[in-house]
Amino acid sequence: MISLLVAAFMFGSDEGDKLPTAAPGTVGMSAERLVAMDRVVARGITAGGYPGAALVVGRNGSAVWSKGFGSLSWARTSPHVDPNTTIYDLASLTKVVGLTTAAMVLFDEGKLSLDAPVVEYLPEFAGGGRDAITIRHLLTHRSGLPAGRDLWKVARSPSQARQMVLETALACKPDRCFIYSDLGADVLGFVIERISGLPLDRFLEDQVFGPLGMTDTGFRPADSLEYRIAPTEVTPPRGYPLRGEVHDENAYALGGVAGHAGLFSTAADLAVFAQMMLNGGYFNGVRVVSDSAVRIFTAPQRGSRALGWEMAEGGTASGEYLSPSAYGHTGYTGTSLWIDPEREMFVVFLTNRVHAARAKRPSKVIADVRADVADLSALAVIDSPDGPLAMPVSFRADKAEDWNRPVRKVRRRGRR
């Protein structure tokens, strides 16, 4: 059954790849252990968690396990997923691949200070306690801004949505609480635009994606690419199925380009990005950011956060076996990226789990599969000084706990 679900297997071939490829054994990884990823990802499809997925595992500068599973949608005629060409809505991976990288570029240029108040760059952000918010607060989600607000229900234009973000009342005083905030990411996006004098999408294309050759990465993909974009919501508030248009309603209200969401990409492009980070900001003759900026932005700050990035703590989407220095992020649409500097390894996993999922609890399916994929990437490394880690008897996807358990309906007594 798995062989029917695997649409592409490219390890050992350079054709179409953005990274050089290598057989697992040549970079200290076990092909036998990596094969378990196929079972885990395929189980998520057969359980109805997502129609398809793209996966790339890389180590020591090469892609060693690059595969597409299933199809772009549930339709019988839907194309198979290809990690080199299938484009996914990255959702909150935008916060790190896009926004945080843009901040790193300006930090390197001496134009962005981590501990400067945001109002130094955005004077219109003043008042209501917002004057005390720093750039570091935004990057670590300690600004005091709430998680979000329904911009899409009120704003009639991107400029109105932007004004609503800037006027949002704080949920707590800056640095007093941790609130994972899309609004904070949006504010930082406005800062990037103000300093650079460019829209966020243009800045990233000029400074990051273009130089790295990430030709399938960007905001608001062209209509001509729709045939290879994985669809997302079927019945969103917008009233029509989404394909090639950002899934997040607030990002859409902001014009499709936002600090918190809106980026689209392929697994192959993200593999290039991950390798650039492992290389200390350098890839294929191009330096995007300094090695010191990479170290600063990916070092632990407070709790489980680095600057923009999340640290791998175990028991979450990062699984249990990544190194303590590993960092990454996830996206609501079913995406994840984890980078493990100690092992010189990364894993990219992209799905569209918000597309008409057939599982009763698709969020549980993607949570378990994400963690298993991260675990298996670490477990596949067999050249560690202490030897390979012991393989578990089974993985979360093997158990599939609560994936499709019937939802209990509570009977309510009506008034007589």
At 211-247, the pLDDT tens digits run 999 999 999 999 999 999 999 999 999 999 999 999 9
Predicted local distance difference test score (pLDDT) of residue 313: 81
Q: What is the pLDDT of residue 122?
A: 98
What pLDDT digit, counting tens, does each position of 278-318 carry? 999 999 999 999 999 999 999 999 888 999 999 998 667 89
The single residue listed with the structure tokens 């090695």 is 291
- Judged against a pLDDT cut of 50, whether residue 266 lies above it is answered with yes
Question: SS3 of 312, please?
Answer: coil
Beta bridge partners of 57: 65, 347
Residue 5 has pLDDT above 60, yes or no: no
Distance from the first to the final alpha carbon of the chain: 54
Which H or E run contains 364?
helix 362-379
Length of the chain: 416
- Res. 13: pLDDT tops 50: no
Whether the Cβ atoms of residue 151 and residue 253 lie closer than 8 Å to each other: yes
In whole numbers, what is the pLDDT of the chain averaged over residues?
93
In 83-214, where do the E strands start and end? 88-89
Q: What angle do CA 13, 19, 23 make, to 5 degrees?
A: 45
pLDDT at 102: 98
Going along the chain from its start, the domains and CATH numbers come out as: 2-86+266-399 (3.40.710.10)
